[in-house]
A and B are shown apart, each in its own frame.
Chain A
């Protein structure tokens, strides 16, 4: 009798421990925050739990607090244990009743002792029954543990554990001794798996699970919790300080796990548009009134993820496949040098690769103008040109003079005749002298050689220019600074004639701005080549035919103000040439008189 009582007590203990272990295994594999708490504990059981952890030869670590503190387990071994795993919608605005109704059950685990107890056996067989009960319970727990990882809900559990994003649903549980059975309609959506019963002295221990074969019916996606807010201090807005440094590199931000910051590091204090102070009605839901809340919100930024953004939708779909981590989405949005003020956008999974590796001041590029681009340098298409230092005053003046030249195309230079060859060579000599006193001569020469036109580039790599470059060997351009071997002595003898013709051309262009430009074009077209007049006339005709369309379009696109400025520059050049010619005329006269 005593042995019978002892075996009953042992069996009762086996059943109660089995129920506790079952609940532990289910919650650890279904409830993300309990899993996270267990992971923080290191996985190994505390000393006070080690003995209990050895039950059924399955060490699961410390039990979750709800189990440890009691209250969840049934009071008697004959009471069933029903664990419902539910999807709780995150919409807090719903009422309690509505919320309860909106919590669909995805799994229902049931463990209970059923059927009348078998006839009491003798003492010898009782111990055998106890050992058999324990052995079979071990195997049953192994099977339950494996099955927990094969059911569909496990994938969603892993998704929630892997990312710090919040979804529109959360996995929660309900433990009870009794649960309302599913309706017929509901049961159709469930599949049933029952484990083989384990015979005990109190009846057969049955474990079964009703689960949904698929969770596709639930629109599981990343949720946006915060209400939309407006961001006033976006990058590029007048309110921001453009010289403020950006936060640290992506490696520092995204690689490390989120740490709740109580010291409020400086990078979180900067009122970036993605971190900042409460800005109402912004779709990204960014807010925070103080540095510490900003940090927390920044760390929890994914919670305000906007699922409408395509990059985020793509990421959410990747999560459904279970193979994506959202760690990189804790980063700030990518650096944008766009001139148009727009809220920062998240660039998707590659966002971290788009961020600069170093902090850099933000420079808002100005609206591009022909003049400013010409001043800045050769490669106008290079966005880094925005950060080029401004040209020195001398070079600016020289750039003006270079810019004034009708240098939109090399064809203009090619079309010059011998008449203006001396004129331009003198001007060229002036420019050369200016060049020697400059610091950024290289850039200026690039401007000069390519004519200072953004359209046709300062680069010599354009196809049109490359065709013209083929003639460089035979042709020297008056504006090419590198062509230092232009024989000034050949052209200077005709300085007087060219100078007078030049002044007349400019006098006529004073009538109107457009007329001035037209006259200038005409003058350049009709000017003889610098070296070989016969060759230039042949080549200029062919190239004029080919390039006239280009040049006309070039001039059409130029603004009137640019032409006016050019006119002014030409006037200055005229003055210089006139003064030079006067000086040259006076010198021979003086020599003769001497």
Chain B
């Protein structure tokens, strides 16, 4: 089984925007890949003029919120870094149990990599901090421009998800019948840049080795 990897465009976010951005992206991906019966729920972003769609499954919502909380906690400890959240879909395979190999093997068939660059307000140059005159107006303008740029980037990411989800459909396993919500098992992992520059690369290579047919499409 091929593991399709989609590397989404990097998004620069401020700390308070992390939750909204991740919700929007993760729910959109899952809406395209949770192929069980769903009752779609339109959600308006609080910070942007974007409406995304959720599956309406409480389990999915809870899992996403927990992961976002975990991500934010990690970001608080290591601010101003490029971080990555990976949403991976896998299939389970029972293997012959042995001394060192687990019984259940996960075969990843798709991985979505969400790249976030969390901006740290404290990393602004001192010259900006010392400008008292018109500081408020400049800060407001910068915030507005940042917000507009982020909304545009987020829209691009959503279009990217739609495009990729539609173009790559052959590798999806058969949809289980009579299943609601998430039809395929999935996991969300957090990869930060502190785990070296080949942090996510190692994780993807590991999955590629497990699947046996490495395919990199971004």
Identify which of B42, B155, B166 contacts A143 (C-beta below 8 A).
B166
Complex interface residues of chain A between 126 and 162 (CB less than 8 A to chain B): 131, 135-136, 138-140, 142-143, 145-147, 149-150, 154-155, 158
A142 surroundings in chain B (CB, below 8 A): 31-32, 35, 165
A582 to B104, CA, bound (A): 124
Residue of B nearest to A155 (CB): B49
From known contacts A135-B172, A146-B53, infer whether A58 and B38 are also in contact, taking CB-CB under 8 Å.
yes
Residues A149 and B49 in contact, CB atoms below 8 Å apart: no
B131 surroundings in chain A (CB, below 8 A): none
B53 surroundings in chain A (CB, below 8 A): 145-146, 149
A387 proximal to B (CB < 8 A): no
Residues B175 and A59 in contact, CB atoms below 8 Å apart: no
Complex interface residues of chain B between 19 and 53 (CB less than 8 A to chain A): 28, 31-32, 35-40, 42, 49-53
A196 proximal to B (CB < 8 A): yes
B28 surroundings in chain A (CB, below 8 A): 146
Complex interface residues of chain A between 98 and 151 (CB less than 8 A to chain B): 131, 135-136, 138-140, 142-143, 145-147, 149-150
A149 to B24, CA, bound (A): 13
What is the CB-to-nearest-CB distance from A124 to chain B, in angstroms, rounded to a whole number?
A: 15
* Per-position 1/0 for B154-183, Cβ under 8 A of A: 010011001001110100101100000000
The tally of residues in A whose CB lies under 8 Å from a CB in B reads 26
Identify which of B31, B35, B167, B175 contacts A196 (C-beta below 8 A).
B167
A155 to B151, CA, bound (A): 15
Residues A135 and B175 in contact, CB atoms below 8 Å apart: yes
A385 proximal to B (CB < 8 A): no
From known contacts A135-B172, A142-B32, A150-B159, infer whether A59 and B166 are also in contact, taking CB-CB under 8 Å.
no
Residues B158 and A146 in contact, CB atoms below 8 Å apart: yes
A136 surroundings in chain B (CB, below 8 A): 169
A198 to B203, CA, bound (A): 32
What is the CB-to-nearest-CB distance from A287 to chain B, in angstroms, rounded to a whole number?
A: 37
Residues A131 and B174 in contact, CB atoms below 8 Å apart: yes
Residues B35 and A57 in contact, CB atoms below 8 Å apart: yes
A281 proximal to B (CB < 8 A): no
| CB < 8 Å A-B pair total | 69
A135 surroundings in chain B (CB, below 8 A): 35, 169, 172, 174-175
A322 proximal to B (CB < 8 A): yes
B155 surroundings in chain A (CB, below 8 A): 150
A178 proximal to B (CB < 8 A): no
Chain A contact residues: over half helix, strand or loop, or mixed? Answer: helix
A554 proximal to B (CB < 8 A): no
Residue of B nearest to A54 (CB): B37
What is the CB-to-nearest-CB distance from B199 to chain A, in angstroms, rounded to a whole number?
A: 30
Residue of A nearest to B158 (CB): A150
The tally of residues in B whose CB lies under 8 Å from a CB in A reads 26
Identify which of B35, B39, B49, B159 contacts A139 (C-beta below 8 A).
B35
Identify which of B37, B49, B169 contacts A59 (C-beta below 8 A).
B37
A497 proximal to B (CB < 8 A): no
What is the CB-to-nearest-CB distance from A209 to chain B, in angstroms, rounded to a whole number?
A: 12
Residues A154 and B51 in contact, CB atoms below 8 Å apart: yes
Residues A143 and B35 in contact, CB atoms below 8 Å apart: no
From known contacts A145-B40, A146-B158, A150-B159, infer whether A138 and B52 are also in contact, taking CB-CB under 8 Å.
no
A321 proximal to B (CB < 8 A): yes
What is the CB-to-nearest-CB distance from A244 to chain B, in angstroms, rounded to a whole number?
A: 43
A593 to B128, CA, bound (A): 100
A60 to B40, CA, bound (A): 7
Residue of A nearest to B40 (CB): A145
From known contacts A142-B32, A146-B32, infer whether A196 and B169 are also in contact, taking CB-CB under 8 Å.
yes
B37 surroundings in chain A (CB, below 8 A): 54, 57-59
B40 surroundings in chain A (CB, below 8 A): 58-60, 145
What is the CB-to-nearest-CB distance from A110 to chain B, in angstroms, rounded to a whole number?
A: 16
What is the CB-to-nearest-CB distance from B218 to chain A, in angstroms, rounded to a whole number?
A: 17
A146 surroundings in chain B (CB, below 8 A): 28, 31-32, 52-53, 158, 162
A59 to B40, CA, bound (A): 7
17 A-B pairs besides A57-B37, A145-B53, A150-B51 with CB distance below 8 A are A57-B175, A58-B38, A58-B40, A59-B40, A135-B172, A136-B169, A139-B165, A139-B166, A142-B32, A146-B32, A149-B42, A149-B52, A150-B50, A150-B155, A150-B158, A150-B162, A196-B167
Residues of A within 8 A of B (CB): 43, 54, 57-60, 131, 135-136, 138-140, 142-143, 145-147, 149-150, 154-155, 158, 195-196, 321-322
- 4 shortest A-B CB distances, which residue pairs? A196-B166, A149-B51, A57-B37, A59-B39
16 A-B residue pairs with Cβ-Cβ distance under 8 Å, sorted by A, are: A43-B39, A57-B175, A58-B38, A135-B169, A139-B32, A139-B35, A139-B165, A139-B172, A142-B31, A142-B165, A143-B32, A149-B42, A150-B159, A150-B162, A158-B51, A196-B166
